[in-house]
Chains A and B, each alone.
Chain A
Amino acid sequence: MSALLARLVANRLFWPIVMLLVLFTINLVAFPGFFAVTLRDGHLFGSLIDILRNGAPTLIIAVGMTLVIATRGIDLSVGAVAAISGAVACSIILGSPEPANPATVAVAVTVALLISLVLGMWNGFLVAVLGIQPIIATLILMTAGRGVAMLITEGQILTVNSPPFKALGSGFWFGVPIAVIIAAVVFGVAALVTRRTALGMFIESVGINPEASRQAGVRARGLLFVVYTFSAFCAAIAGLILTANTAAADANNTGLFIELDAILAVVIGGTSLAGGRYSLVGTLVGALVIQTLVTTVYTVGIPPIATMVFKAAVVTIVCLLQSPTTNEALSGFRRRLALRAGKGVAAS
């Protein structure tokens, strides 16, 4: 029994999941109907659905980020890429004579995604070919990208009136939010392609020791290209969802700071920023923790002034619980306690 418990605690997903359950409990206490999911107007309705739907963009970006981080890299440009893709799609839809036509939306989405591939390849080029440190290489696009998005929208918030586009962010398919379905597909494809083939292992090997993997015949250059392009692609999908959610492209605010949320999701999920082993399931849990945290703030009614402190406290606790040093200290403490208890028993 205790061996099972010890194995559970040792699992790197143990503490994030505990934190998720704790957050759920806090919500349940503050609002007893928290877990209630009902069918309203033919679609699912409830707090949990909100968490999944609002968390979808973060999760999608975090999936791409996981693979980048596994190669010992980082992609700071995802928020800017999200803003660009939203801006591109909205300006195409606005410029067309039939904004409500699904074909128009399909063109807009395709162009936005294609542009993101180019942006991702740019990042890949800087990192893989020019050998610039990832944090600097992607910082370029992070800063410049918002400017590009501003240029596309001409500094305006572009409001589009296009039901098919809006459905991407707030629509439902068989009662399930379309955003959640998209996130599930991205997650599923990433998991299948990297875990059912050797790709995942190559990525990890590049992250653990680039030189050794090169000598073993892994082509790091191509791999980095793929990983950064995929990350930008994910960012563009998330950007489209975020933009469609409010039916407005806001170059300044779409995906603002989402790179930090995505990195946090990856880290909470137990993937090390030093590269190497990664866990997509961990990233999923991490993204859910982050979104639940946001929803908790609103549900419990934490005053806006204290919001940041509350979030920081939760994240700090998760990171502390996960850290090997803290765990060692804790288990040492437990051992001493057990020892003392044992002595107590012996004495009596």
Chain B
Amino acid sequence: MKKLMGIAAAGAMLVALAGCAGGGGAASEGPKALDELVVGFAQVGAESGWRTANTKDIQAAFEEAGIELKFSDAQQKQENQIKAIRSYIQQGVDYIAFSPVVETGWDAVLNEAKAAGIPVVLTDRAVDSKDTSLYVSFLGSDFIEEGKKAGLWVLDQYKDSTEKVNIVQLEGTTGAAPAIDRAEGFADVIRQNPNLEVIESQTGDFTRAGGKQVMEAMLKSNPDIDLVYAHNDDMGLGAIEAIEAAGLKPGEDIKIVTVDAVKDGMQALADGKINFIVECSPLLGNQLVDIIKTLNEGGTVEPRIITEETTFDQEQAIEALPDRQY
């Protein structure tokens, strides 16, 4: 603790000195050369194909820009991520970017970053904190919107249906922003048709094995499932296996809607095993580099930047598949 305080004190003195020299606080130090910049990135893990694509894109974008990137993998654990961020603060990186594993519990460590004068950029996932001064920008998808897009397709698909439509939902990691928001957006939209009902909802932890095991059990306890809404492709792919093992045809007997559009998911969509995918683009690297460059030059960035995304049905998937990078 003493040591930490010592470092903090030394840091404060440095900032003060820089302030004297520059004559206007840390922000007006002037832009650093790009190859002198150090950015610390704390990734969630490699829990899905999407995440891996996200990691690769960010690493590639920084390498291309010539900015040093310190990378850490939290293996889906918040305590690992907090440790990584603390170590970045101690190392005195220029910027910190991270995708929070869960939404809550970040105030303490983000305050430490703020006190050390290191701007924080959130990527892909948000934090649930009232104090928006803790980060400069949140770059990522609008998960509620993604849930809504999925819901709209379902609404359209069953608009003429007079019977009850039994929907099961495979949720992401409990407490994670995409899991909460994708469920919320979806529920908001399908509420418009009283025939559409989510009869069961269970977490599959965003993994294939999780999706498969949950789907197996759901198929046993609910014989007439009409549609599966999975919060990511991997759980949808797991569900496909379970549905096939039950002697049913995924995409026909049971329709599947997922979010993400990673390559394996797109392949299944093109093969007719998934019916609709809402894209959630992992290619944030260039946008993140742009944010860092703007901040470095003393500019301001929007507090919320949304990635550009689309949706795919089966025909569009066949077209898009050949040049899918991830």
| Interface, chain A (partner B; CB < 8 A) | 30-31, 33-34, 40-41, 45-47, 50, 54, 146, 150, 155-157, 159, 170, 242, 245-248, 250-254, 294-295, 297-299, 301, 303-305, 307
The complex places the Cα of A170 from the Cα of B205 at a distance, in Å, of 20
Residues of A within 8 A of B171 (CB): 304
Instruction: List the B residue with the shortest CB-CB distance to A298.
Output: B217
A246 touches B47 (CB 8 A): no
Contact A251 B46 (CB under 8 A): yes
A247 — which chain B residues lie within 8 A by C-beta?
Answer: 241
Q: Are A299 and B217 in contact (CB under 8 A)?
A: yes
A301 touches B46 (CB 8 A): no
Instruction: Identify which of residues 209-263 in chain B touch chain A, using a CB-to-CB cut-off of 8 Å.
Output: 209, 212-214, 216-218, 220-221, 234, 237-238, 241, 245-247
CB distance from B103 to the nearest CB of A (A): 13
Q: What are some 15 contacts across the A-B interface (CB < 8 A)?
A: A46-B220, A50-B217, A54-B216, A150-B73, A155-B46, A156-B46, A156-B52, A157-B49, A245-B241, A246-B208, A253-B209, A298-B216, A299-B217, A301-B221, A307-B174
Q: In the complex where A246-B208, A299-B220 touch, is A253 in contact with B47 (Cβ < 8 A)? A: yes
Beta-carbon contacts of B69-81 to A below 8 Å, as 1s and 0s?
Answer: 0000101100000
Question: How far is A307 from B46 in the complex, measured between Cα atoms in Å?
Answer: 24
Which positions in B face A, CB cutoff 8 Å? 45-49, 52, 55, 73, 75-76, 171, 174, 200-203, 205, 207-209, 212-214, 216-218, 220-221, 234, 237-238, 241, 245-247, 264
Q: Which of A40, A248, A295, A307 contacts B217 (CB 8 A)?
A: A295
Q: From known contacts A41-B247, A304-B203, infer whether A150 and B46 are also in contact, taking CB-CB under 8 Å.
A: yes
Beta-carbon contact of B221 and A248 below 8 Å: no
A45 and B217 CA atoms in complex are apart in Å by 11
Give Cα A47 to B49, complex, Å. 30
B209 and A307 form a contact (CB under 8 A): no
B272 to A: closest C-beta gap in Å:
17
Known contacts: A157-B46, A157-B48, A252-B45. The answer to whether A298 contacts B55 by CB under 8 A is no
Partner of A50, one of B48, B55, B200, B220: B220
8 A-B pairs with the lowest CB-CB distances in the bound complex, closest first: A298-B217, A304-B203, A246-B208, A31-B221, A304-B174, A40-B247, A47-B220, A299-B221
> What residues of chain A lie closer than 8 Å to B47, measured between beta carbons?
250, 252-253
* Shortest distance from the beta carbon of B41 to any chain A beta carbon, whole Å: 14
> B75–A294 contact, CB under 8 A?
no
Distance of A242 Cα from B207 Cα, bound (Å) = 12
Residue of A nearest to B174 (CB): A304
Give every chain B residue within 8 A of A50 (Cβ-Cβ): 213, 216-217, 220
Shortest CB distance A114–B (Å): 25
Q: A246 contacts which of B201, B205, B209 (Cβ < 8 Å)?
A: B209
| Bound form: Cα–Cα A348–B250 in Å | 71
* A54 lies within 8 A of B213 (CB): yes
Other A-B pairs, 11, CB within 8 Å; known A46-B220, A252-B75: A33-B221, A41-B247, A45-B247, A54-B216, A155-B52, A157-B52, A245-B212, A253-B205, A253-B209, A298-B213, A307-B203
* Chain B residues, Cβ within 8 Å of A251: 46
Distance in Å from the Cβ of B85 to the closest Cβ of chain A? 20
Residues of chain A with a CB closer than 8 A to B202's CB: 297-298, 301, 304
Query: In the complex, what distance in Å separates the CA atom of A159 from the CA atom of B55?
Result: 18
Q: Do A250 and B207 contact each other (CB < 8 Å), given the known contacts A45-B247, A50-B217, A155-B46?
A: yes
- Residue in contact with A252 in the complex, picked from B76, B212, B221, B238, CB distance below 8 Å: B76
Contact A159-B264, Cβ < 8 Å, known A298-B213, A298-B217, A305-B174: yes
With a cutoff of 8 Å between Cβ atoms, the chain B residues found around residue A54 in the complex are 213, 216
Select one of B55, B208, B241 contacting A250, CB under 8 A: B208
- Give Cα A150 to B221, complex, Å: 37
Q: Roughly how many angstroms separate A30 CA and B212 CA in the complex, as a whole number?
A: 21
B241 near A246: Cβ-Cβ < 8 Å? yes
Distance A304 CA – B176 CA, assembled complex (angstroms): 12
Whether B212 lies near A246 (C-beta < 8 A) is yes
Q: Indicate if the CB atoms of A252 and B203 lie closer than 8 Å.
A: no
| Chain B residues with CB below 8 A from A246, complex form | 208-209, 212, 237-238, 241
Which residues of A lie under 8 Å from residue B200 when comparing CB positions?
301
B206 CB to nearest chain A CB (Å): 9
State A66–B264 Cα separation when bound (angstroms). Answer: 39
State in angstroms the CA–CA spacing of A295 and B215 once bound together: 11
Measured CB to CB, the closest approach of chain B to A199, in angstroms, equals 34
Residues of B within 8 A of A250 (CB): 46-47, 207-209
Which residue of chain B has the shortest Cβ distance to A146 in the bound complex? Answer: B75
| A47–B174 touching, CB < 8 Å | no
Write out the residue numbers on chain A whose beta carbons fall within 8 Å of the beta carbon of B212: 245-246
Looking across the interface, which residue of chain B has its beta carbon closest to that of A31? Answer: B221
Q: Taking the nearest CB of chain B, how far is it from the CB of A343, in angstroms?
A: 50
- In the complex the two chains form, what is the Cα distance from A299 to B237 in whole Å? 20
For residue B222, which residue of chain A has the nearest CB? A31
Given contacts A155-B46, A157-B46, A252-B46, contact A242 B209 (CB under 8 A): yes
User: Shortest Cβ distance from B312 into chain A, in angstroms?
Assistant: 19
**A30 and B46 contact, CB distance less than 8 A:** no
**Centre residue among B76, B200, B221 by max chain A CB count within 10 A:** B221
